[in-house]
């Protein structure tokens, strides 16, 4: 079980443990990766289902090279994953936490500017 699945309530996290652990650095990397508009677009289109690099590039009107570069960043911090289907590589969100985080952020923004 990973650490994320253990957290039920933010109040249960010990402040001193959080500040001295790698969790703060990992959380910072997560939000840094999600601060890029192109990466957010990729997360959005992947929220609808698996896609190849070319499919993502076509939907976002960008080059395959640009999409591949952004996907690598998202893969390193476990926001997206991939699987092979014959010669094709299909990308998807790593788990439901990614979708929940994205949805909460979007809901917050839509609420602020509604």
For residues 51 and 45, the answer to whether their CB atoms sit within 8 Å is yes
Mean pLDDT score, 79-91: 97
Confidence of residue 4 (pLDDT cuts 50, 70, 90): very low
pLDDT at 110 over 60: yes
Give the structural domain span for 26: 15-112
Kindly report the backbone phi and psi dihedral angles of residue 13, in degrees, each rounded to the nearest multiple of 5, phi listed first.
-85, 125
| Residue 2 included in any domain | no
pLDDT at 1: 37
pLDDT tens-digit readout, 5-47: 455 578 888 888 788 778 888 889 999 999 999 999 999 999 9
pLDDT at 3: 47
Picking from 89, 90, 104, 76, the residue whose alpha carbon sits closest to that of residue 45 is 90
For residue 84, give the CATH number of its domain. 1.10.10.10
What's the number of domains the chain is made of? Answer: 1
């Amino acid at each position: 079980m990973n650490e994320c699945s253990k957290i039920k309530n933010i109040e249960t996290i010990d402040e001193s443990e959080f500040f001295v652990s790698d969790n703060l650095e990992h959380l910072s990397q997560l939000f840094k990766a999600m601060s890029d508009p192109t990466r957010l677009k990729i997360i959005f289109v992947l929220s609808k289902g698996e896609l190849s690099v070319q499919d993502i590039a076509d939907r976002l009107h960008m080059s395959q090279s640009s999409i591949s570069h952004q996907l690598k960043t998202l893969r390193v911090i476990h926001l997206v994953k991939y699987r092979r289907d014959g010669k094709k590589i299909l990308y998807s969100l790593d788990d439901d936490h990614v979708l929940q985080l994205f949805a909460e952020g979007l809901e917050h923004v839509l609420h602020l500017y509604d």
